[in-house]
Amino acid sequence: FGHDVVCIDKDQSKIDRLHDGVMPIYEPGLDSLVENNVRAGRLSFTTDLAEGIAGAGAIFIAVGTPSRRGDGHADLSFVHAVAREIGQSLSNDAVVVTKSTVPVGTGDEVERILAESGTPHRVAVVSNPEFLREGAAIKDFKIPDRVVVGTDSERARELMRELYRPLFLNETPILFTSRRTSELIKYAANAFLAVKITFINEMADLCEAVGANVQEVSRGIGLDGRIGRKFLNAGPGYGGSCFPKDTLALTKTANEPNSPVRIVDTVVEVNAARKKAMAEKVIKAMGGDVEGKTIGVLGLAFKQNTDDMRDAPSLDIVPALMEAGATVRAYDPEAMHEASKLMSGIEYADSAYEAIKGADAMVIITEWDQFRALDLDRVKRHRAAFGFFRDRRPELYGRLV
């Protein structure tokens, strides 16, 4: 957008690698975006917070808010710590913007912490949730469906309007709300999408039970504009760094004022059970016993175009198959390194075809595009049985079985 941006992190090695042009995560297009902006002199990296925020009009808090161990509440310790540090280091008036996904009322808390720091500078605290999908984050940022800004401060509103001004070209709606409303919009959006996925997952089971086709059901209902076609792909259960954590945190937030969100409670439960049940499905498809069998697993990341393994369905499915006595040979285009830190005993292959060579079954867990384009005649020559979680297209089955 042409703004000058300084990225600040406590992790020296991350900053060092960024200086060397090495991205800390795999995200398509990120390396060239970073490189171009560094070269243009707009983007820099530092571990020095005071130096990084000096002169900044807007300071974005984008630290993690993982599930707190034991109770599922969002862990706000990083948000609070960084707010404290900002308060102690400010050298000019600024708007502090919370990008991290935080429960309702966190902005009030950040405001209190900043006030307590005794800073003489004027600070307004804004909520500006992100709606980016991993793997499509750059596009989602540049062409968003909407931007949500929660603040009561006119000064902050003006600054945020100015920051997102480049989006006016595409006529992106910018929704100004109160801070609490904005914080809740983020959780409500993720929870709604999780509900949608879980709904179609249960429909998929029903389709299997009654001999219907879930992809056609998705299309049949999704073409109704009130329902919408997106997020109606059935799968082995949603995973990732957001939906599992945010749905759980929303149920916790809702229980406190005794205003439970029962539909989300159920979704959390159904999704967890689904991931566990997937291994059973494979075992059943293989005649009820996988002892001594080899299973080729394609895809380990929680979704395509990422190396992120957080809450990936593979973390439930693969260990359960190995516990049942199977040998698992897996291939993922990006996530094998991450997966090897979390699961042991998997044989890793260099390609999809290597993973299924001589295997008794092939299981596609993550819908990487390259798996859609597998040469099915070549696959067939490997004499594997087939379990498709995502591709239930009859023509594909027809060619394989």
- 197 binds ligand UGA, rule: CB under 6 A: yes
Q: How many CB atoms lie within 10 A of CB 190?
A: 24
- 235 binds ligand UGA, rule: CB under 6 A: yes
265 to 284, contacts with ligand UGA by CB under 6 A?
none
In order, the DSSP letters of 339-371 are HHHH--SPEE-SSHHHHHTT-SEEEE-S--HHH
34 to 53, contacts with ligand UGA by CB under 6 A?
none
Q: What binding mask, one character per residue, do residues 107-126 give for ligand UGA by CB under 6 A, x or -?
A: --------------------
166 to 195, contacts with ligand UGA by CB under 6 A?
190, 193
Q: How far is the CB of 235 from ligand UGA (least distance, A)?
A: 3
Report H helices in 286-324. 314-323
Q: How far is the CB of 74 from ligand UGA (least distance, A)?
A: 12
Cβ nearer to ligand UGA, comparing 196 with 329? 196
* Token pair listed for 367: 């819908």
Stretch touching ligand UGA by CB under 6 A, among 37-45, 146-154, 241-249, 321-329: 241-249
Task: Please calculate the CA angle 127-146-201 and round it to the nearest 5 degrees.
Answer: 100
- 243 binds ligand UGA, rule: CB under 6 A: yes
* Buried residues in 222-244 as b, exposed as e (16+ CB within 10 A): beeeeeeeebbbbbbbbbbbbbb
- Per the annotation, the verdict on 242 as an active-site residue is yes
Figure out which of the listed residues 239, 299, 333, 387 binds ligand UGA, where binding follows CB under 6 A.
239
Q: Read off the amino acid at residue 280.
A: E
From the DSSP assignment, how many helices (H) and strands (E) are in the chain?
17, 12
**Strands of the 123-127 sheet, one edge to the other:** 58-61, 94-98, 123-127, 147-150, 174-177
- 127 binds ligand UGA, rule: CB under 6 A: no
Residue 27, Cα to own-chain centre: how many angstroms? 12
Cβ nearer to ligand UGA, comparing 294 with 305? 305
Q: How far is the CB of 206 from ligand UGA (least distance, A)?
A: 16
Q: How far is the CB of 352 from ligand UGA (least distance, A)?
A: 18
- 149 binds ligand UGA, rule: CB under 6 A: no
Instruction: Tell me the number of residues near ligand UGA by CB under 6 A.
Output: 21
> DSSP label at 14?
H
* Token pair listed for 6: 């300084």
Distance, in Å, from the CA atom of 78 to the CA atom of 63, rounded to the nearest integer, reads 6
53 to 112, contacts with ligand UGA by CB under 6 A?
101
Stretch touching ligand UGA by CB under 6 A, among 60-68, 167-175, 242-250, 324-332: 242-250
In order, the DSSP letters of 132-199 are PPTTSHHHHHHS-S-EEEE-S-HHHHHHHHHHTGGGGGGT--EEEE-HHHHHHHHHHHHHHHHHHHHH
Figure out which of the listed residues 60, 187, 199, 238 binds ligand UGA, where binding follows CB under 6 A.
238
Stretch touching ligand UGA by CB under 6 A, among 33-41, 152-160, 226-234, 276-284: 226-234
Helices 106-116 and 77-89, axial angle in degrees (round to 10): 40
Figure out which of the listed residues 232, 267, 298, 330 binds ligand UGA, where binding follows CB under 6 A.
232
- 240 binds ligand UGA, rule: CB under 6 A: yes
Catalytic residue among 102, 242, 268, 356: 242
Stretch touching ligand UGA by CB under 6 A, among 130-138, 169-177, 282-290, 357-365: 130-138
Binding region for ligand UGA (CB under 6 A) = 101, 130-134, 190, 193, 197, 231-233, 235, 238-240, 242-243, 246, 302-303
**Residues annotated as part of the active site:** 242
